[in-house]
Homo-oligomer: A and B are copies of this chain.
Amino acid sequence: MPAVKRAPKKAKVTGKPAGKPVKRPATFALRKRPLPTRISPVAIDLGVLNDHLGYFVRRLQVWVFQDFIRRLSHIDISPAQFSVLVIIGANEGLSQSELAATLGIERARMVRMLHLLDRRGLTERLPSSADGRRHELRLTRAGEAQLKQAKALAAQHESSLLPKLGPDRYRMVLEALREI
């Protein structure tokens, strides 16, 4: 088993005591050679992956989410947060368990997501009068406003997918997936 060659013994502990993430050092934009011979040396064979739905679904999902995240980066709303806000907005008063179940998210995870949204002042958890265990979820005024913005950006994102996937394919895939 080679592969134990390079790499310095201890790797000079990156001395980075402070300083924000710097957000994209603009590694692109200026390039002597526009990636010359790196076009595609041999064209790599995907093998049996070509017959696996999961592979393509995965790639598409990553692709779509990246675009979504980029477009909503202004208001700092992740796909998961967006889905949570949408469901709460469309179903006032439901419980965390119900919300988690419909979105396929663990209850434990949902607790922490809602905790964050609470702190940001977007959602509220009112103790249910009927059932002392439940918290009835609601959007705050700020939450509704934020959701409205998010929906607008999300709609933009969505319509941007159309040309890139081909309008016919887009509609086909969406309808097919919706039925599942």
* Chain multiplicity (copies): 2
Which has the most chain B C-beta neighbours within 10 Å: A41, A62, A86, A125?
A86
Q: Is B57 a contact partner of A61 (Cβ separation < 8 A)?
A: yes
In the assembled complex, the Cα of A48 lies from the Cα of B61 at a distance in Å of: 18
Interface size class of A (residues with CB under 8 A): 35 or more
In the assembled complex, the Cα of A161 lies from the Cα of B86 at a distance in Å of: 30
B-contact 0/1 string along A143-172, CB 8 Å cutoff: 000000001001100100100011001101
Residue numbers of A with Cβ under 8 A of B are 1-3, 5, 41-42, 44-62, 64-65, 68, 79, 83, 86-87, 89-91, 94, 98, 102, 104, 114-115, 118-119, 124-127, 135, 151, 154-155, 158, 161, 165-166, 169-170, 172-174, 176-180
